[in-house]
Amino acid sequence: MSATYERFSLRQRLEHIAMMTLFTILSVTGLPQKFFEATSSQWIMDALGGVDRARWFHRAAGIAFAVLAIVHVWGAVWEVVVNRSRLTMVPTKQDFRDAIRTLRFYLGVEPSPPRFDRFDYRQKFEYWGLIFGAIIVIATGIVLLYPVLAARWLPGEFIPASKVAHSNEGLLAFLVVIVWHIYNAHFSPDVFPFDTSIFTGRISEERMHHEHPLELERLVSHSSGHTNNAPHP
């Protein structure tokens, strides 16, 4: 049986499950309101018990999503402060070089693809897209949840502008998850038919060698001092 390495902690896995659940609820209750004229939207609204109940679920999930985002950011910052984690998700110049080299490799210009560390440029860009997207939907969602209070402090134009931004950012997030994330996580030839690491927390040595060779080299050279990441049979 091949060795495995820790890829995601228990906290990260629980956060991902919570994010999956809330994102699904927000999509199911939000997109039918955006495309309310579609027959499928009307069917979903009826199945949820009407638009008022759908809005209640959407707002409740939105509040939970905002709390989850705050908990995630606080937890990530705290782990860096206490030296339990590194700034592995912060993009660097090397990520842009890797993106260019990957494109050149696909075009047949480079003889080999770039070698990645713990996270590659695609994962980092998607992660920060989620963070900035979350800021937009949370901020605009608060404005839409308390429009009268928001109008006391902001120009009235912010209310309809927030509605457009909230709706379009939600649609963009849905498309990114469906087209980009699900492909990379489940339908990419490298991980097909299913990548279980986000649920089990571990990744095989073979995949580490193929997808994260720089991290594997570092873990192997310091395995005696990194018991959490030491290979398990």
User: pLDDT confidence of 231, banded at 50, 70, 90?
Assistant: low
Q: Compute the average pLDDT of residues 130-136.
A: 95
Q: Compute the average pLDDT of residues 110-121.
A: 93
Distance (Å, rounded) from C-alpha 115 to C-alpha 194? Answer: 23
Distance (Å, rounded) from C-alpha 43 to C-alpha 45? Answer: 5
Evaluate whether 215 touches 223 at the Cβ level (below 8 Å): no
CA-CA-CA-CA torsion sign (122, 127, 133, 137): positive
* pLDDT tens-digit map of 169-182: 999 999 999 888 88
User: pLDDT confidence of 226, banded at 50, 70, 90?
Assistant: very low
Distance (Å, rounded) from C-alpha 90 to C-alpha 185? Answer: 20
* pLDDT confidence of residue 1: 54
By DSSP bridging, strand 4-6 and strand 202-204 are antiparallel
Q: Which residue has the tokens 């097909």?
A: 192
Q: Is the pLDDT of residue 146 over 90?
A: yes
pTM of the model: 0.86
Between 37-51, 54-68, 186-200, the lowest mean confidence (pLDDT) is in 186-200
| pLDDT, the chain, mean | 90
Beta bridge partners of 5: 203
How many domains does the chain fold into? 1
List, as one string, the DSSP characters of the chain.
---EEE-S-HHHHHHHHHHHHHHHHHHHHHHHHHTTTSHHHHHHHHHHTSHHHHHHHHHHHHHHHHHHHHHHHHHHHHHHHTTSS--TTS--HHHHHHHHHHHHHHTT-SSSPPP--SS-HHHHHHHHHHHHHHHHHHHHHHHHHSHHHHHHHS-TTHHHHHHHHHHHHHHHHHHHIIIIIHIIIIISTTTTT---HHHHSEEEHHHHHHH-HHHHHHHHHTGGG-GGGS-B-
- pLDDT more than 70, % of the chain: 95
State the Rg of the chain over Cα: 21
User: pLDDT confidence of 192, banded at 50, 70, 90?
Assistant: confident
* pLDDT confidence of residue 134: 95
Q: Compute the average pLDDT of residues 146-169.
A: 93
CATH number of the domain that residue 180 is part of = 1.20.950.20
Quote the domain boundaries for residue 201: 4-229
Distance (Å, rounded) from C-alpha 188 to C-alpha 200? Answer: 19
User: pLDDT confidence of 135, banded at 50, 70, 90?
Assistant: very high
* pLDDT tens-digit map of 48-105: 999 999 999 999 999 999 999 999 999 989 988 888 888 889 999 999 999 999 999 9
Distance (Å, rounded) from C-alpha 148 to C-alpha 189? Answer: 50
Distance (Å, rounded) from C-alpha 206 to C-alpha 211? Answer: 9
Q: Is the pLDDT of residue 222 over 80?
A: no
Q: Compute the average pLDDT of residues 180-189.
A: 82
